Structure 1
Amino acid sequence: MQIGTLRRLSALFLIVLVGGTARAAEPPKSGNPVFDKAVQLVLDKFYDVSALDRFKEAVRREVEDPKSPLTVTSPDERVHQAIDTVLASLQASHTGHFSKDTIDYFELADIFRYAIRDDIKRLFPPDGDVTYPGIGMIAKPGNGLWYVSDVYDGSPAARAGILVGDEIVTVDGAPYYEIASFKDKVGRAVDMQLRRRPGAELTNVKVQVESLKPLPTFEKAIAESARIVERGGRKIGYMHLWTLAAPHSMGAVAEALAEGPLKDADGLVLDLRGRWGGGSADAAELFVGNTPPFRLIPRSGEQELANVRWHRPVVGIIDEGTRSGLEVFAYALKANHIPLVGSRTAGALLAGRAYLLPDDSLLELAVANAIIGDNVRLEGSGVQPDVPVEFSLPYAAGEDPQRDAAIDEMQRILARGEAQRG
């Protein structure tokens, strides 16, 4: 073989090989603008280049499968299923596809409102305020049924007495849908049928439908969750940190501890079983920071909180809902020897960003890796509890073994402290 030919083949070999492995050819286009836009965003923005060959093969299989063709005229449901299938090949958190028939869509739209700022007023006229019709309740599917997984504190669902674990049988006599069950019903009550125990008679409740703003709803739920549990003459505070993404999330916690219902608590149970992460990476400083608390006192004499630090005992509750920024929070607590009760966190710690697709569905995409300290990566591994306690959702009837175990742990901590002082 001539030297010139060898050189040309070598150059071609270097183009095809990247990092010692063959790079897959670009996947074929499907002809569907929504699917193709999602694919292109992954190819352009996804943080882990090493996963793209696997992704391209998944796209190729999806497009070329004769049993499930993707065309411009494909139904939305088929397109969304295809996007979910190819995204799953990336095996990463902060990567998903959300349509307007889910609560996730609206909550993420508010969390990522800056990323979609050019379209926010068009999507949510006239002022760009993200809202959806709902009752402040999240449900998860299982075995073909829907079970209440979260009830936001202070919400219509909480006021109506809906409990975590309830099976949702019907809403106004029809099957339950996250958004459609409450659409065009804001300002009036819906009739819900729930089943609290397997085979039990149905429980009927009336729930007022409201126009909910996701981030303010979270802030209200955090503030409303604060309460004191009396155990053995001790005051144990409890607060549920639903997310760090709302602007006033940690402010609500600080106010409850410094001036609100938890100011006289002997210890605090902090519930990190959230919906979303977000927030500042140093949010746990309120509990583990070394700077002293201080107040500002203007001429009027009315004190203003400038900095709050909690120096009394803390116990955290974690589970698979503890993700992203809340996982960093949990890791910081554990690193500072604050006990964690519950089950392993989600192992979902990457930096995500939202993109709008041509049908206004939302694509969340991991765009950066996340490392804690020298080389700690929680993605895929999570944070393990110090006191493992499992929780079974179906028909829990509001019972919460993880919260109960955390309160018991706090009792033991306070008792030990009293014994040492005595």
Structure 2
Amino acid sequence: MKANTLGFFRVALLLLLMPVAARADDPPQSGQPVFDHVVELVMEHFYDASALDRFVTAVRDEMEDQEAPVTADSTEARVDAAIDTVLASLDASHTGRYKPDGIDYFELIDIFRFAVRDHMRRLFPPEGEASYLGIGIVAQEADGALFVSDVYDGSPADRAGILVGDEIVSVDGAPYDEIRSFQDKVGDTVEVRLRRHEGAEPITIEATVERLRPLQSFSKAIEESATVTERDGRRIGYVRLWTLSSRDAMDVVARELATGRLKDADGVVVDLRGRWGGGQSDAAELFVGDTAPFRLILRDGEEILANVRWNRPVVAIIDEGSRSGLEVFAYSLKTNGIPLVGARTAGALLAGRAYLLPDDSLLILAVSDAVLGEETRLEGRGIQPDTPATFGLPYSAGRDPQLDAAIEEMRRILAEG
């Protein structure tokens, strides 16, 4: 799931210091500690006070449900369903609960590590570094089956040849589970049964399980994604921004553009179909900023990049995975005349904060609105591409029509000089 994603505006932290008056119509306590804590946090910190009335109604409905009211003795499944329902009533991005049975939990807890810093050593002993065992894939359900929706560049799955669009039949003979399939198997090889084409016999691919540190893995994936292909005698570069939340995400891109694999490209395709947003709101300055690029040269000849600016053609790819900080990035490119190819962005642009709940699940809650320029809001709207291109996940076998369309757009730009 990507619908509920992280925020990135530092101003959101200031809201945590503001006192909030109690409401006369606050819902009663259910006695279930996780459910009640979610309700308290929403009532105290959710950014849109006008949504709280319908939230309170949803909470009361769950507590008064004649078939299964939420009480202190409610089952875990009932509590999970109730929390999902009341949070959905807020109809906002950057708002959701995540449990340690999915990759989202580990990625988000690493992204929001500062907010839960007092608990990290307990959650991830002994170093306090968020990590999970896996092979670097994310799956999405479609038509009753699970399909690989993301393969992190440079991951064990990438090296093994697993492709986006592959149906996951099993892992080591058991149904695929994001976390349990790789539990206690670090360093081991797992057999992943995949169906690459509809109706075809499954194939088996072996991949080595690694301990993955989310932000570190994202930085590596950004770096490994940088490639150059030749078309019509021109060099077209490509890089994918999986997230802007890694501390060095844009440094990695700048390094590849200035001195790495992309430095001799005639144009570059920037892929904003990410996992999470985050980052600083001026990240796109690398491509649209007007300050001069410069570098520092030390006595021994070593060069330090101080300010990188890419002044050659750019095309960007967007889709529903472009959200939060990546939507700000896309908006900045679009307003500067850089063509966008793909599908509408997520329309998920609020500032979120993380809260650890009593059962160690993670609540992400929208605590601030976000406005671009004078009055532009992308929440619930998103950004439309200049050149629409659709992507069908099941059995795509690694084919990427959106990337193909972006490369064609770049070929057109380069041909026009």
Q: TM-score normalised to the size of structure 2?
A: 0.94
Quote the Cα distance in structure 2 between the aligned partners of 1:211 and 1:398: 25
Equivalent position SS for 1:224:
helix
The reply on whether 1:391 has 2:391 as its aligned counterpart is yes
Aligned partner letter, 1:130: A
Match in the other structure for 2:67 = 67
Quote the Cα distance in structure 2 between the aligned partners of 1:97 and 1:67: 24
- Cα distance, 1:247–1:299 mapped onto 2, change above 3 Å: same
Match in the other structure for 1:197 = 197
Aligned partner letter, 1:217: S
> How many angstroms does 1:273 deviate by?
0.1
Match in the other structure for 2:304 = 304
Match in the other structure for 1:91 = 91
Question: Once the two structures are superposed, what CA deviation does each residue of 1:37-62 show, in whole Å capped at 9, x if it has no partner?
Answer: 00110000000000000100001101
Quote the Cα distance in structure 2 between the aligned partners of 1:335 and 1:158: 35
Match in the other structure for 2:165 = 165
Match in the other structure for 2:144 = 144
Equivalent position SS for 2:205:
strand
> How many angstroms does 1:24 deviate by?
7.7
The reply on whether 1:237 has 2:237 as its aligned counterpart is yes
> How many angstroms does 1:322 deviate by?
0.1
Query: Which stretches in structure 2 are left out of the alignment for 5+ residues?
Result: 1-22
The reply on whether 1:332 has 2:332 as its aligned counterpart is yes
Match in the other structure for 1:11 = none
Counterpart mapping for 1:19-30 below 5 A: 25-30=25-30
Quote the Cα distance in structure 1 between the aligned partners of 2:51 and 2:71: 26
Question: Once the two structures are superposed, what CA deviation does each residue of 1:327-353 show, in whole Å capped at 9, x if it has no partner?
Answer: 000000000000000000000000000
The reply on whether 1:32 has 2:32 as its aligned counterpart is yes
Match in the other structure for 2:359 = 359
Quote the Cα distance in structure 1 between the aligned partners of 2:299 and 2:75: 65
Question: Once the two structures are superposed, what CA deviation does each residue of 1:109-167 show, in whole Å capped at 9, x if it has no partner?
Answer: 00000000111111111111100011110101122211110000000010111100111
Equivalent position SS for 2:402:
helix
The reply on whether 1:319 has 2:319 as its aligned counterpart is yes
Question: Once the two structures are superposed, what CA deviation does each residue of 1:217-261 show, in whole Å capped at 9, x if it has no partner?
Answer: 000000000000111111000000100000010001001000000
Equivalent position SS for 1:315:
strand
Aligned partner letter, 1:49: A
Confirm or deny: 8 A CA contact 1:24 1:53 kept in the other structure. Answer: no
Match in the other structure for 2:295 = 295
Match in the other structure for 1:128 = 128
Match in the other structure for 1:186 = 186
Equivalent position SS for 1:119:
helix
Quote the Cα distance in structure 1 between the aligned partners of 2:250 and 2:24: 46
Quote the Cα distance in structure 2 between the aligned partners of 1:143 and 1:290: 48
Quote the Cα distance in structure 2 between the aligned partners of 1:79 and 1:207: 36
**Bigger shift: residues 120-129 or 305-314:** 120-129
Quote the Cα distance in structure 2 between the aligned partners of 1:184 and 1:27: 43
Quote the Cα distance in structure 1 between the aligned partners of 2:159 and 2:72: 46
Equivalent position SS for 1:204:
strand
**Bigger shift: residues 321-330 or 61-70:** 61-70
Aligned partner letter, 1:406: A
Match in the other structure for 1:9 = none
> Relative contact order, CA 8 A, sep 6+: which one is greater?
2
Match in the other structure for 1:12 = none
**Bigger shift: residues 169-178 or 320-329:** 169-178
**Bigger shift: residues 27-36 or 149-158:** 27-36
The reply on whether 1:58 has 2:58 as its aligned counterpart is yes
Equivalent position SS for 2:114:
coil
Equivalent position SS for 1:236:
strand
Aligned partner letter, 1:122: R
> How many angstroms does 1:27 deviate by?
1.7
> How many angstroms does 1:77 deviate by?
2.3
Confirm or deny: 8 A CA contact 1:29 1:63 kept in the other structure. Answer: no
Equivalent position SS for 2:328:
helix
Quote the Cα distance in structure 2 between the aligned partners of 1:82 and 1:144: 24
Equivalent position SS for 2:365:
strand
Alignment root-mean-square deviation, CA = 0.9
Equivalent position SS for 2:416:
helix
> How many angstroms does 1:74 deviate by?
2.4
Confirm or deny: 8 A CA contact 1:165 1:396 kept in the other structure. Answer: yes
Query: Which stretches in structure 1 are left out of the alignment for 5+ residues?
Result: 1-22, 418-422
Aligned partner letter, 1:364: I
Equivalent position SS for 1:181:
helix
Quote the Cα distance in structure 2 between the aligned partners of 1:155 and 1:356: 29
Identity of aligned residues (%): 67
Report the structure number with the largest CA radius of gyration: 1
Aligned partner letter, 2:141: P
Q: TM-score normalised to the size of structure 1?
A: 0.92
Match in the other structure for 2:369 = 369
Quote the Cα distance in structure 1 between the aligned partners of 2:24 and 2:372: 32
User: How many correspondences in the alignment?
Assistant: 395
Quote the Cα distance in structure 2 between the aligned partners of 1:77 and 1:302: 58
Equivalent position SS for 2:181:
coil
Equivalent position SS for 1:410:
helix
> How many angstroms does 1:28 deviate by?
2.5
Aligned partner letter, 1:33: P
Match in the other structure for 2:18 = none
Match in the other structure for 2:8 = none
Aligned partner letter, 2:170: T
Quote the Cα distance in structure 1 between the aligned partners of 2:61 and 2:344: 34
Question: Once the two structures are superposed, what CA deviation does each residue of 1:169-195 show, in whole Å capped at 9, x if it has no partner?
Answer: 101111111101111111101111111
